[in-house]
Each structure stands twice: as structure tokens, then as C-alpha cells.
Amino acid sequence: MPNKEQIDLNHIPQHVAIIMDGNGRWAKQHGRERSYGHQAGAETVHIIAEEAARIGIKYLTLYTFSTENWSRPTDEVATLMSLLIDSIEEEIFMKNNISFHIIGDINKLPEDVQKRLYDCVKHTSSNTGMCLVLALSYSSRWEITNAVRNIALQVQRGEISSEKIDSDCVSAHLVTSFMPDPDLLIRTGGEVRLSNYLLWQCAYSELYFCETFWPDFKEDEFQKAICDYQKRERRFGKTSEQVS
């Protein structure tokens, strides 16, 4: 198992995105309800956020609730919403100089949840360390569709000309426009798919899939993912000779 010493602190990914999957199966494995898994998963969020901030990651983007997750049983959705109110530990963010952000179709969340989240955004806004971003009621297709609509409106109003629409213009209309693209995307829980997460932004991200269920994904597993990333050669379409 790699330890802290094996991470090269001069080669830390700037942005790590995580699809936190496996809460339900973890709970089942422990003979408990799915909600127990979500509770355990919320603790892991804080552990990984602290560890990511400690090693110098600048942006940590966590897939917390997808637009598709609204189709889960009503009681599970309710549990997840109340966890957003009860489990966010602002003190941990303050202690680690972490600023808290949210992206997604936030208006769809219950009002008390929105208030709790925006309070946390406000209270941590002057922290200058890592940005912790929760993707909530988020999906890439929702995001890209909105971006296309907004660009079309701007063209219609004569604010931009259609010739000016390039890749940077599209990126600038996404809800992630304040961040660089992810260097590393991790998915826990054994599934090998993106489930509508950051599809545009992950065009050149390194992908890391592991079997570990999210509640069991602790510092050592995170370090293992970072070490794996650090062994890779990112070529962005060039040859190995060009990039080395």
C-alpha cells in the first residue's frame, strides 16, 4: 500500500474529479439500509477533502447527486437531501482553508437544502486553499444543453458572432468555467462508466476506476490513485518524444 512519502508533491494533479459510487452496495454488504451507506459516504467526503487539501490539490469536484438520481425511490432522495443539511461540516473546511462551491441545477433542490448550501458557500468564500465543489442535480447533458441555449441566445441578440464560437467559448458557458479541466477522474464502486459526469471537461483527463465502495475509500486509496496518475504520460495527441 503506498504511503504519503510515495506521492510526488511536485506533480500533484490540479483538479481531481470523483464519481463517489457504491454507498448502497456497501450498506448491503453490512446488512444495513442504503441510507446507512449514504451516511458513511458523507464521512468519506470530509476525509478525502482534508487529504486532498493536505497534498495540495486545488480543485476537488465530487459527483454527489445526478439529475438521474431524482428517479430513485422518494425516501432515498429525501435521505440524501437531509444528509446535505446535516452532514456538511463547515468547521473542517474552515480548519483546512477550503472554499465550498456547488454546481448543477440547484433550483431543483428543496429550499432549506439550498439555504444550507449557500450559507456554507458564503461562510467559506474567503478561504484561499482548495475549492471543494459538489455537483448536485448535475449532469453533463443538462449542462451542455444549457450552454448551447445560452450561446444561441447571445448570437441571436448579436452579442457574439457565430464564427467566434470555439472550444473556449463552449467551456466558458459551462458551470465549471471557473476551474481548469480535471487532470484525474476517479470512480469508486467498480462500475466503468461516466454516468453523465463532466463529459466535455474530461476529454483529456486520466481515468482511474477502482472496486472499493465509496465509504471504504480512505486516504490510502486516494494516495494510490494519485500515485497511479503520477506514473502516466499525458500526451494530448502528441508523440512521447514531443512531451518528454
Question: What does 181 interact with, of Mg ion, ligand IPE, none (CB < 5 to 8 A by kind)?
Answer: none
Pick 124 or 140: Cβ nearer ligand IPE: 140
CB of 130 to ligand IPE, least distance (A): 20
State how far the Cα of 45 lies from the Cα of 87, in Å rounded to an integer: 10
Among 8, 10, 23, 69, the one annotated catalytic: 69
Closest residue to ligand IPE: CB criterion: 24
- Buried/exposed 62-95: b ≥16 CB within 10 Å, e otherwise: bbbbbbebeebeeeeeebbbebbeeebbeebbee
Active site annotation includes 21: yes
Angle between helices 74-86 and 111-123 (to 10 degrees): 30
Nearest approach, Cβ of 142 to ligand IPE (angstroms)? 13
CB 65 to Mg ion: min, Å: 11
CB 200 to ligand IPE: min, Å: 17
d(CA 186, CA 33): 25
In this complex, which beta carbon is closest to Mg ion, that of residue 13 or of residue 41?
A: 41
Out of 8, 21, 96, 181, pick the active-site residue: 21
Give residues in contact with ligand IPE (CB under 6 A).
Answer: 19-25, 63-66, 68-69, 80, 189, 191, 193, 195
Residues 13, 15, 16, 21: which binds Mg ion (CB under 5 A)? Answer: 21
Q: Name 209's bridge partners.
A: 187
Q: Order of strands, edge to edge, in the sheet holding 99-103?
A: 99-103, 131-138, 59-66, 15-19, 184-187, 206-209
Residue count, binding to Mg ion (CB under 5 A): 1
Cell of 188: 469508486
Q: Are 197 and 63 in contact (CB under 8 A)?
A: yes
> Is 127 an annotated catalytic residue?
no
Dist. CA 133–CA 198, nearest whole Å: 13
Nearer residue to ligand IPE within complex by CB, 71 or 240: 71
Question: Grid coordinates in use for 193?
Answer: 462508466
Nearer to ligand IPE, 19 or 202 (CB): 19
| Residues classed as catalytic | 21, 69
Contact set with Mg ion (CB under 5 A): 21
